[in-house]
Amino acid sequence: MLDKFALLSVPQGFDEPAGLDDNFRALSRKVHPDRFARGTPLERRRALEQTTALNDAYKTLKDPVRRAEHLLALRGVEGEVMMAPDFLEETLDDREKLLEAKESGQPLEALAQGVREKRDRTLAEVRALVNSGGELSRAAELLARMKYYARYLDEVEGRAAEI
């Protein structure tokens, strides 16, 4: 597996690495396809592949959920996550409340704020688990919850869901 932290020459960690933006820009300038416009087809293809890999690594490390998922994958924790039944019930309840509020024309901000608070608590718990080397399978489940929170907030705030 490609270590995206190593690719961008930054230390592994839960929080956004210091120097990430600067390292990304410096490396991007070195391998940008425009620098190889007169190169051989192999050099142009390699520059495009390197630029694509750098862009993907940067996007991953800029996002706290993707960064944490990558850290877990580097530590051997990846794959399908089983969600706890109580969380699934909670999501159904949240969805029902959202549907009712939309149908009745009630403001959605209070519902969104409640989910933002859950998201923030969940991310803090993931941070603690990852930084302590705790139960990483639990951290993976919590990260799966983060995707639910993001989709919920996208819907409340009228944004298109990011895939």
How many Cβ atoms are within 10 Å of 73's Cβ, its own excluded?
15
For the domain made up of 4-62, the CATH class stated in words is: mainly alpha
Return the structure tokens found at 125.
């718990």
Return the structure tokens found at 10.
């930054």
The pLDDT of residue 56 is 97
Please determine, for residue 158, whether its predicted confidence score (pLDDT) is greater than 80.
no
| Residue ranges per structural domain of the chain | 4-62, 85-156
Task: Report whether 138 contacts 147 (CB < 8 A).
Answer: no
What average pLDDT does the segment 55-78 reach?
A: 93
The pLDDT of residue 159 is 65
Cα dihedral angle (132, 137, 141, 147), rounded to 10 degrees?
70
- Asked whether the whole model's pTM tops 0.85, one would answer no
Please determine, for residue 155, whether its predicted confidence score (pLDDT) is greater than 80.
yes
Task: Report whether 19 contacts 12 (CB < 8 A).
Answer: no
Rounded CA-CA distance 120/114 in Å is 10
Read off the pLDDT of residues 124-144 as tens digits, 9 standing for 90 and up: 999 999 988 888 989 999 999
What average pLDDT does the segment 94-120 reach?
A: 90
